[in-house]
Structure 1
């Protein structure tokens, strides 16, 4: 565009006369440099780019530095699940959590792992385990053998947990207690003369005056008691003479005891509710006088090993004989396993021994910590604690450890007993600590 065209364009613009005059002056005066609008816009762009460049130079390093500081802080925090150790998990150490009554519980431990609820192991009952004794029956009747490799075992919620005061008001209902009493009295052919209730102690411990946890029927020659846990006690007021005379403290052959059990099962199978009876003499034990305290028990068997192990611990019948070999009572246990938490991966026996040497165990009838010498372990069992104080019923390894310096004059060996949770540690909110023993 030449100068004349520019002036003509200027005349067509809607502007004040003073502005037009000033612009014409600039156009006709060659001594004045005319800056086109395009040049002015380029300057603005250059300034904008410079400002943006400075912003990037300052901001990006600052953001990178802050991100690095956050990364350092995150790495300084303990992860929610720690890899390593047995089965890829290291259990929380003692005092790491604040869960009531459970040492070694982490407050940040997840509630679920691989879709299974995480577990807390807090057995409170000081009567857990096999009695401390001076012998070990190596020909065990326990269905699990160390040569058997199981990869999972079920865990169940205790439907009739007993509180700290020793009272159980959950579990079987009043109607179910009465029904069990009625079935047993009918099978025995007796009539109740009166009923007794063991109450929960009134309002002192928070229960109602009429709350009770055991119902007893008094009959002519028998007293039948049923509690909410599902345990049935039948006490014969006049002991019953048996055709096979065996006494608890005398030595007989296994065949003698089996014949006695066969006879008792035939007589009382209708009230035992055991369809596939298996012999169990595992609770037999010698006392310090070298007398065998023989236990006559049966449990529910199965073609499935896991179900047989459950029957061994949760569906049993024990026959009590007096010193004359007469039947004085029957004790029946049928624990409610209706609420299954799931099938949990378990550690092997060798892995459980490693956990034992690390000090993650509970013991019974001893104040002595495990020495760490696994060569002293003479026998291992995969067991459940069927105790009313348990929160859940979970599998455990039970180790019988020789006490070399403790033998009686007859040469019978003494053992300490240690328990290690069989569930893989990654599912355990806590692991037992060395100072958590039963005395």
Structure 2
């Protein structure tokens, strides 16, 4: 089959790849997105979108569609694993909007994917394309797919996740198992009387494990994520069903809110948690990594998708506003801007397990004294997130290039 061509080829049609395609289109850069699955996956559970990502998504034109599927949680509240008492609070909701000029949303991952897909349109997306070979030359990159299709691009971006085929060409590393597996479930909100009040994110840190829940689907469902220790990674699949009895046993003795939440789920899905060691670099002259392909991180800071969105906008600005035919400079600039920040967050996600699983962290009594008592409204907790939520990846990238940012657009 003859080669087709585009300026940028994006490998992976998930949240990272679709966001990049939208951002590239805004910058006037032609791209094609190749997704290995023949159709979009409707599985998955909840996702937290912090202001550092939502301000960028709004500028890409999906603010209205995002509001229709999202929940605006009033606060993030840490609670006692055994007695459910409030221990510490971070204000979100209106306080977050005032402080960071962008919302903190909770969404269903599949619904966010649909919003991005519909905003992009079918034209740039090629489903059922599994990459089998990548050859980089000084004048471009040649791609071959299992279907026999071939494609040539000036630049190739690997946005194909923690098991990235593109990353395998740049690094000989492998995913690192965290020692934990995660169960995810969705529960209709009407089964949970306590979920009918003000929406919030609830986090229960506990001995060797933790559980997080929050409303999604415009409040119609509650998504939860529960970690359990695991001696071996086992099967890794987004669609593999978990053993509800095993999950129930893992949280036996926890407070009734947690145990009733778990019992209310009809099914749960389970997969082991992996990240990778940080790479010294993600780019070659014409190939770059993005999102989980570049810096897969554990979900314990709820920043995986947010950092992929930051990556996407940064990369699009670098490619769109760097002199034409100077892809190597654009990719190097992208790496210089993103590597230090994502490395810090990736490391922080690993370190968060000490707190979430009570490994060398303050116990619940101290948390109660220094958290809920010292900052009852959670405003200090919100201000402490300035380094994360206040970051404007587009403005930083535009500043590095020496051009004015388009951040005056609706945020």
Larger gyration radius, structure 1 or structure 2: 1
Question: What TM-score, normalized by structure 1, do the two folds share?
Answer: 0.22
